[in-house]
Amino acid sequence: MLVVGIRGAITVANNDRDQILAASTEMVLELMKKNGLTEDDLISLFFTMTPDLDAAFPAEAVRRCGITETPLMCAPEIPVLGSLAKCIRVLAHCQGKLKKSEVRHIYLADAVALRPDLVEREVSQDGLKTS
């Protein structure tokens, strides 16, 4: 059995509890779907949020969507000058049969700017035309 780390990030428009919870849910469910994961494959999820977000914990959203046996942790992102604002990030530690080269990292909304190389690779893997 292999252990891999899978990254994900998403942005929200406002520091709003409902937006943070909805975006966190979307990001984690998309990460699981694209990588063929179930909760049994998850070892832990580590979330960070930029300092301009403090209206909710991303972990709360994950618990609400039924992931209850996986350890979760939330922390503030380092406040680097000029970094992407209103961003929620996750590092998922997973076990299974995925090799690092097969992992599909998830970057949604304005977070696509963080890793355009990975977003373009995902588009190619999905059979869509890349720009």
Tell me the backbone φ, ψ of residue 118, rounded to 5 degrees.
-75, -35
The catalytically annotated residue of 17, 30, 65, 115 is 115
Distances (CA, A) of 85 to 3, 12, 51, 53, 88: 30, 9, 8, 9, 9
Active site residue 89: yes
28: nearest Cα among 42, 17, 12: 42
The catalytically annotated residue of 77, 87, 94, 122 is 77
Give the three-class secondary structure for 56.
coil
Q: What is the torsional sign of CA 19, 79, 9, 44?
A: negative
Active site residue 120: no
Active site residue 115: yes
The catalytically annotated residue of 7, 17, 65, 121 is 7
The catalytically annotated residue of 26, 87, 89, 104 is 89
Active site residue 17: no
Active site residue 74: yes
The catalytically annotated residue of 17, 65, 74, 121 is 74
Active site residue 107: yes
Active site residue 65: no
Active site residue ranges: 7, 63, 74, 77, 89, 107, 115
